[in-house]
């Protein structure tokens, strides 16, 4: 089915982006790329995802997939399973089941709104607020500056601070909720993953729209899951470049350079599959146990190698590769925290012998 998806993505003109992801959803579903939203494995998802950058419009479509699978998909799974920290209301579970079914079958898109202007990656800086009214309804005010997949989403998961409980809940907002304001946002790279801003003032939500009690307990793992898929996409993007540049006769020098890029992407991809297996085998596994695992270092090294190739401008030839520098994983607070934790073990290397 991946062949049919390639043909579908090839049917769009090179400059088209706005309708690509939404229009391709049925083919994406048939290819099995949405199975991980329900009960499919992350290894199988990543084994297919690495091929997507070799397709026209592939990196942008891949960004949409990684956000849908690792972010919205994770939250829906928690609610459906009524796991710790999720709503225990049956109405919320049924709503999550309906949303999951639509997503898995390529019928809908669900966006997550966390980031806000000036939040700097810290939940404690969020200005969006929510509170439970005496009626049981939830009053919520929010302004989200960047929602991946949001422009075509049929609903949104919004993170807002509940002042009284000092926690950050996740709330479902339907696209057609009266008064919801949406503004599309366009990036210079991977534009097929359509983004938007959303704003709501004094919305009154049913209690069943309160999906997750405290996002702060999930946020780090959700971010790292998304970055794991980004790493797989990056491996695919590098391998696409190597494939293109290896066509025709090669000098020995360029052959060595391309081999190094292929090897580096293979090392990273192997680590991504190892982590994917852990996610598949243990639902309680947290990626931070193995993070950082080399994505940042290999990304930097590959970009440096590409910049060293004579008469080759990767920014011009492969502009969507710039996405991975834009969302560079070493800039996140999670990376800094985990690297500091990891560094404590460096000093012990070789000293703790049997």
Question: How many other C-beta atoms are found inside a 10 Å radius of the C-beta of residue 306?
Answer: 20
User: What is the C-alpha separation between 327 and 230, in angstroms, rounded?
Assistant: 9
Nearest by Cα to 55 from 110, 97, 5: 5
Q: In the prediction, which pLDDT does 322 show?
A: 93
User: What is the C-alpha separation between 89 and 91, in angstroms, rounded?
Assistant: 5
By three-state DSSP, how is residue 340 classified?
Answer: helix
Beta bridge partners of 354: none
Q: In the prediction, which pLDDT does 316 show?
A: 95
Nearest by Cα to 294 from 275, 280, 319: 275
**Peptide bond before 292: cis, by omega within 30 degrees of 0?**
yes
User: What is the C-alpha separation between 309 and 165, in angstroms, rounded?
Assistant: 55
pLDDT string in tens for the chain (354-residue length):
899 999 999 999 988 999 999 999 999 999 999 999 988 799 999 999 999 999 999 999 999 999 999 999 999 999 998 677 788 889 999 999 999 999 999 999 999 999 998 888 888 999 999 999 999 899 999 999 999 889 999 999 999 999 888 899 999 999 999 999 999 998 889 999 999 999 999 999 999 999 999 999 898 999 999 999 999 999 999 999 999 998 876 677 788 999 999 999 999 999 999 999 999 999 889 999 999 999 999 999 999 999 999 889 999 999 999 999 999 989 888 999 999 999 988 888 888 665
pTM of this structure = 0.94
Q: What angle do CA 76, 82, 84 make, to 5 degrees?
A: 105
37-41 long-range Cβ contacts below 8 angstroms, 24+ apart: 37/68, 37/69, 37/72, 37/73, 37/76, 37/77, 37/100, 37/103, 37/104, 38/77, 38/100, 38/104, 41/276, 41/280
Q: Where are the domains of the chain?
A: 1-105, 110-216, 217-347
User: What is the C-alpha separation between 294 and 203, in angstroms, rounded?
Assistant: 43
Hey, what CATH topology would domain 110-216 get? Butyryl-CoA Dehydrogenase, subunit A; domain 2 (2.40.110)
User: What is the C-alpha separation between 21 and 152, in angstroms, rounded?
Assistant: 9
The helix/strand count (H/E) of the chain reads as: 12, 8
DSSP assignment, residue 46? Answer: H
User: What is the C-alpha separation between 302 and 50, in angstroms, rounded?
Assistant: 16
Instruction: List, in order, residues 6 or more apart from 260 with CB less than 8 Å away.
Output: 305
Under a CB-based contact definition with an 8 Å cutoff, are residues 122 and 168 in contact? no
Calculate the dihedral angle through the C-alpha atoms of 60, 66, 71, 75, rounding to the nearest 10 degrees: 130
Q: In the prediction, which pLDDT does 214 show?
A: 92
Question: How many other C-beta atoms are found inside a 10 Å radius of the C-beta of residue 294?
Answer: 16
Residue with tokens 């983004």: 195
- At residue 241, φ and ψ (nearest 5 deg) are -65, -45
- At residue 157, φ and ψ (nearest 5 deg) are -105, 115
């Amino acid at each position: 089915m991946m062949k049919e998806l390639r043909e579908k993505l090839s049917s769009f003109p090179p400059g088209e982006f706005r309708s690509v992801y939404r229009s391709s959803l049925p083919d994406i579903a048939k290819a099995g790329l949405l199975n991980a939203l329900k009960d499919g494995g992350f290894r199988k998802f990543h084994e297919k995802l690495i091929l997507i950058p070799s397709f026209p419009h592939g990196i942008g479509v891949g960004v949409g997939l990684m956000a849908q699978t690792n972010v919205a998909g994770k939250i829906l799974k928690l609610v459906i399973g009524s796991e710790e920290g999720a709503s225990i209301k049956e109405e919320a579970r049924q709503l999550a089941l309906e949303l999951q079914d639509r997503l898995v079958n390529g019928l809908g898109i669900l966006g997550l709104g966390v980031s806000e202007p000036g939040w700097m990656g810290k939940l404690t800086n969020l200005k969006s607020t929510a509170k439970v009214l005496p009626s049981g309804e939830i009053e919520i005010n929010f302004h989200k500056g960047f929602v991946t997949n949001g422009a075509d989403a049929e609903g949104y998961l919004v993170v807002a601070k509940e002042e009284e409980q000092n926690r950050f809940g996740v709330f479902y907002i339907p696209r057609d909720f009266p008064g919801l304001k949406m503004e599309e946002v366009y990036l210079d790279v991977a534009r097929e993953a359509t983004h938007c801003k959303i704003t709501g003032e004094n919305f009154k939500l049913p209690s069943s729209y309160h999906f997750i009690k405290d996002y702060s307990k999930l946020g780090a793992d959700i971010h790292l899951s998304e970055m794991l898929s980004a790493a797989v996409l990056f491996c695919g993007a590098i391998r696409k470049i190597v494939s293109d540049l290896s066509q025709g006769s090669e000098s020995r020098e360029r052959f060595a350079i391309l081999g190094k890029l292929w090897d580096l992407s293979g090392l990273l991809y192997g680590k991504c599959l190892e982590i994917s297996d852990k996610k598949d085998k243990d639902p309680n596994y947290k990626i931070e146990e193995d993070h950082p695992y080399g994505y940042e270092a290999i990304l930097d090294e590959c970009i440096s190698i590409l910049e060293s190739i004579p008469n080759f401008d990767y920014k011009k030839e492969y502009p969507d590769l710039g996405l991975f520098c834009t969302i560079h994983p070493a800039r996140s607070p999670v990376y800094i925290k985990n690297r500091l934790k990891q560094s404590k073990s460096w000093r012990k290397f070789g000293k703790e012998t049997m």
